[in-house]
Amino acid sequence: MGEFSRTNEYVYFVMLGDARVLPTVDDMSGRREVVEQKPIEWRNLRRRENTSVRAARPNQFYAVFVNQVSGHMHSAGDPLPQAVDRRSVEVPAGCYAIFPLKPDGTEMLWGLTPGALRLLATDGFARVANGGRGPGGASVQYLAGGTVAAIKAGEVTITGRDDQGSVVGFFAEGSVMPKTTWSKDSHNAQTSGTLMVTALLPGRRFPFPKSLYAVEDALRFFVGKKASAVVIDFFCGSGTTAHAVMRLNRQDGGRRSSIVVTNNEVAADEQRDLRGAGLRPGDAEWEKWGICEYITKPRVSAAITGQAVDGESVKSDYKFTDEFPMADGFEENVEFFTLTYEAPLRVASNREFTKVAPLLWLRAGSTGRRIDDLSNGWDVADVYGVIADLDHTESFLKAIAESDTVAMAFIVTDEDRLFESLVAALPEHVEPVRLYEAYLRNFEIEAGRGAR
């Protein structure tokens, strides 16, 4: 009591390489109606935040010249040093100058450098609005990078150009760019997060789980058209990301996979009680209360099977984008791996293969049968093979040659000559990987660091 009730959260997206936001049927505003044809959105070029004053980025303070007769953009001037009075700028004949000024005259910034604005204007992606009103009423507008990318990708229908050459177009039917303020009932962390975890894990609590549908929407903007995407969550908490990937796959028949990582930390209150009972980390009775064993694994399993941890069918339904009983589950599979440290000598002598086997399966693409037993010295599964006894090289190579899907061969040997000869005999499309050279080298590096 006595505080504001929080209704907002923040999501940070970092886009690398050619990653970009995909348009969808939902602009995230929370409005129920679907916009069948949405015009492209022109943004005001003047920055509005209080920190974007002239001194902050001098190269983004310059004049935009407008033709007095047509009201169209004539050109963009060069950046003005802080010491130069804007009123001293020479204006081309028949034009007037616009600067990024607040109504009270405060000198602000444009959202682009002069060079970037000129390029956009050349392509019809920048314009002057209300140019006939003069310096006090005209404004400079531009298309954001996501809209430009959508145009170039053919996701926007260009119907023509206006009288100043700027494009006129609409997003494809039912396709809009998301807004930066999301206001959807489905994103409520209480109803679509906490209560959902409770339905899957009756009697178990997890603090502040994310809304399943909020994570689903966030993923859809980037992998909605990538049916084979791999989604990695390094701090997965209750497993909401893996759950959201399953939902996306169900909606479009995709085969996306998710890799989620978590520790098995026990909450502070439970730690105190467990220590009081004489237990310590590593004890089975301690570890079973950790986040991975107590929450993440059971939540993912319950989502797939549709069976809650109490053995009963999940008594709730999915809503919003794709509505169906949670008891139906998903046509997905899951593997749970525990990362451990193994002694290098035991690994080098191939006495820990069963513990290394899951990592080889992951490295080979997480597809098909997993090789867990090398008692015969070698084995070839759907997409990879492993050989530890090179006396069986002929049989190993024959099995690989007879397969159209094997793409990787793990070779256990510490002899360079034998490794090279086997590699030479492999089909060109099969990638060779030598075991356990990399593991042992990493160990040596870490040991060297510790000795300094």
pLDDT at 199: 95
Q: How, if at all, do strands 95-98 and 73-76 pair? A: unpaired
Amino acid in position 38: K
Buried b (16+ CB within 10 A) or exposed e, 276-294: eeebeeeeeebbebbbbbb
Contact 129, 92 (CB under 8 A): no
pLDDT at 99: 96
Contact 280, 220 (CB under 8 A): no
Helix (H) or strand (E) holding 424: helix 416-425
Write down the pTM of the prediction.
0.63
pLDDT at 446: 47
- Residue spans per domain, the chain: 43-171, 185-328, 344-451
Contact 212, 311 (CB under 8 A): no
Contact 112, 120 (CB under 8 A): yes
Confidence label for 105 from pLDDT (cuts 50, 70 and 90): very high
pLDDT at 442: 52
Q: How, if at all, do strands 139-142 and 126-129 pair? A: antiparallel
pLDDT at 383 over 90: yes
Kindly state the percentage of the chain with pLDDT values over 90. Answer: 59
Contact 405, 382 (CB under 8 A): yes
pLDDT at 347: 65
Contact 386, 422 (CB under 8 A): no
pLDDT (tens digit, 9 = 90+) per residue, 333-348?
A: 888 888 777 776 676 6
Residues 6+ apart with CB under 8 A from 110: 45, 46, 47, 60, 61, 62, 64, 100, 117, 140
3-state helix, strand, coil in the chain (%, to 5): 35, 15, 50
pLDDT (tens digit, 9 = 90+) per residue, 401-416?
A: 999 999 999 999 888 8
d(CA 81, CA 78): 10
Average pLDDT over residues 7-29: 84
pLDDT at 256: 94
CA angle 329, 333, 337 (to 5 degrees): 125
Task: Let me know how long the chain is.
Answer: 452
Average pLDDT over residues 28-54: 81
pLDDT (tens digit, 9 = 90+) per residue, 254-298?
A: 999 999 999 999 988 889 999 999 999 888 999 999 999 999 999
The rounded mean pLDDT for the chain is 88
Kindly state the percentage of the chain with pLDDT values over 70. Answer: 92
d(CA 343, CA 340): 10
Helix (H) or strand (E) holding 95: strand 95-98
Instruction: Give the bridge partners for 158, in sequence order.
Output: 169
Buried b (16+ CB within 10 A) or exposed e, 96-123: bbbbbeeeeeeebbbbbebeebeebbee
d(CA 305, CA 243): 12
DSSP letter string over 69-84?
A: TT--EEEE-PPPPTTS
CA angle 29, 129, 110 (to 5 degrees): 75
pLDDT (tens digit, 9 = 90+) per residue, 170-226?
A: 876 656 778 888 988 899 988 999 999 999 999 998 988 999 999 999 999 999 889
**Three-state SS letters, 17-67:** CCCCCCCECCCCCCCCCCCCCCECCCEECECCCCCCEHHHCHHHCCCEEEE
